[in-house]
Amino acid sequence: MGLSEQEVLAQCAKMCKNTLMETLEIEFCQAGDDYLVAKMPVNSRVHQPDGVLHGGAMVALAESVGSAASFLFLNAQDFYIRGIEISANHVKSIREGYVYAKAEIVHKGRTTQLWDIKIRDEEENLISIVKLTTIALPKKK
């Protein structure tokens, strides 16, 4: 990656300004050589009508952390990163607190990347398992 963890997290925070990530209060909080972690508060803003975390909010969190990881780990300043397929299995509900999404690379191709993203609560309980495929599209010069 080449950047320090603090530089990576600052770059992620900058990317979130005026986006869905800011609306959902997603914050990138940990980075390593082959993973990226973001957290999101669980409150009424992201609940479904019966008061538990909405599955769509979890998918938005997962795609946000996986796409950011693709951008960072591919050194993709010359590419647009787009999610092209996502699959989520929600295994436990949560009503309050925070959820943490950790994106880890499964396949790092030049064009497509496959990410395994586990979403856990503050006690490390597994909430959702997500697979994300991203694509790197060259920017027009």
Instruction: Exactly one of 63, 122, 123, 124 is catalytic; name it.
Output: 63
In Å, how far are 7, 72, 116, 141 from 62, measured between CA atoms?
21, 15, 9, 30
Contact 135, 82 (CB under 8 A): yes
Residue 129 CA to residue 120 CA, distance in Å, equals 9
**Which H helix or E strand runs over 40?**
strand 35-42
**Residue 63 annotated in active site:** yes
Which residues are part of the catalytic machinery?
A: 63
